[in-house]
Structure 1
């Protein structure tokens, strides 16, 4: 295991938001975090990135407490893509991706060929080489999300953490963004709302409720009608689709199904 938490707790305003969570992600696999709003998903991701300090417990990277790592060393290893990251500054696509090189550069250092190659490679991996000099504000929502992923890739991480990367995207861009993330071959932890997308793209799923980890495992083992009823308060039917893929159908008024 590379990135893991061990009995991690974190509070805010006198309320326990993350309550004794222990989980781990296998190298080069995609772990999905799901749960209702307020279940602690985003808070847990920020603890994994050391954007917040755990109240108790420990977050480890290769069995080492991340608190023992310098912020520069941690940023060279682990990258975070925030939910709905935006900017009002007039930047080009390249300018945004260049921000990912910060952990690799000394203050006031000149740009090197290595930096430029890392930026070009990051844009190539997300399929935006032809947008290199395009103004940021002219991009579509899906393209902006891919640029933020490219910025993270410019850090040259081995672990990638994403907070609801498909939020506010249409279904085409939701599918293409998650397919892209899966193709990267990195160790990924991603918070998602859509249970069908989580089942389709994630190797393993962890379910949070009221700050606690209530289930973890393969999608087909975790996403059962009983668990979805208990955690999300909705009734579902689960169908086997083409290629062995499962589809979660939401039941309305007890007998009508609706696909979100």
Structure 2
């Protein structure tokens, strides 16, 4: 295992947002975190990358307490992509991606050929080489998410954490972003809202409810009508789609005269 949590708890204002979560992340696999709003997904991700300090329990990286890992060493190993990060500063695409090289550069060091290669390679992996010098504010939402993933890749991470990277994107960009994440070949932990996307792109799924991990395993093991009813409060049926993947259909009651 690479990243793992062991009976981790965290709270604020007298409320527990992460309550005794123990979870292992398999190397070079995509782990999806799902759950209703307020279930603790974002809080858990921030504990995994040490943006927040656990109240109890421990987060480990290759068996070592992550609290004992130096900030620079951790940033060279692990990258975090937030939900639709924005900026008012006038930056180009390459300016944003270059920020990913910060953990690898000494203070006041000049920009190196290795740094430039890392930036170019990251942009190539997300398919945005031709946008190298384009102003940040002219990009679409999907393109901005790709740039943030490129910035994370420029860190050369072995673990990549993404907090709802498809939020506010149209379906084309959702599929494109998650397809990209799937092909990266690094350990990925991604919080998602869409259960069908989680089933389609994740190797394993962890389900959070009220801060607790209520299920973890393969998508077909976890995403059952009974669990979805219990956690999300909706009725579903599950069928095999034309491509052989499982598809979740939501059962909605309609009032007389409403369109089905």
**TM class, shorter-length:** over 0.9
CA distance, structure 1, for counterparts of residue 123 and residue 159 of structure 2: 18
CA distance in 2 between partners of 1:106 and 1:87 (Å): 25
Deviation at 1:20, TM superposition (A): 0.3
Alignment of 1:206 with 2:206, yes or no, is yes
Partner of 1:69: 69
Q: Residues 117-160 of structure 1, C-alpha deviation per residue, up to 9 Å, x if partnerless?
A: 00000000000000000000111110000000000000000000
DSSP-derived class of the 2:176 partner: helix
Report the counterpart of residue 165 of structure 2 in structure 1: 165
Deviation of the 1:108 alpha carbon: 1.2
Query: Is 1:121 aligned to 2:121, yes or no?
Result: yes
SS at match of 2:243: helix
Distance, in Å, in 1 between the alignment partners of 2:31 and 2:108 is: 37
Matches within 5 A, 1:172-211: 172-211=172-211
Q: Which residue of 2 aligns with 1:139?
A: 139
- Equivalenced residue count is 256
Counting only pairs closer than 5 Å after superposition, residues 6-155 of structure 1 correspond to structure 2 as 6-155=6-155
- Measure, in 2, the Cα distance between the counterparts of 1:59 and 1:121: 31
CA deviation profile, 1:65-109 (whole Å, cap 9, x unmatched): 111111000000000000111111110000000000010011111
The separation in 1 between residues aligned to 2:47 and 2:161, in whole angstroms, is 11
Matched residue, 2:229: 229
Gaps of 5+ in 1: 256-260
Runs of 4+ in 1 over 3 A off after TM superposition: none
Query: Hey, what's the Cα distance between the residues in 2 that align with 1:75 and 1:246?
Result: 36
Cα RMSD (Å): 1.2
Question: What is the TM-score with the length of structure 2 in the denominator?
Answer: 0.97
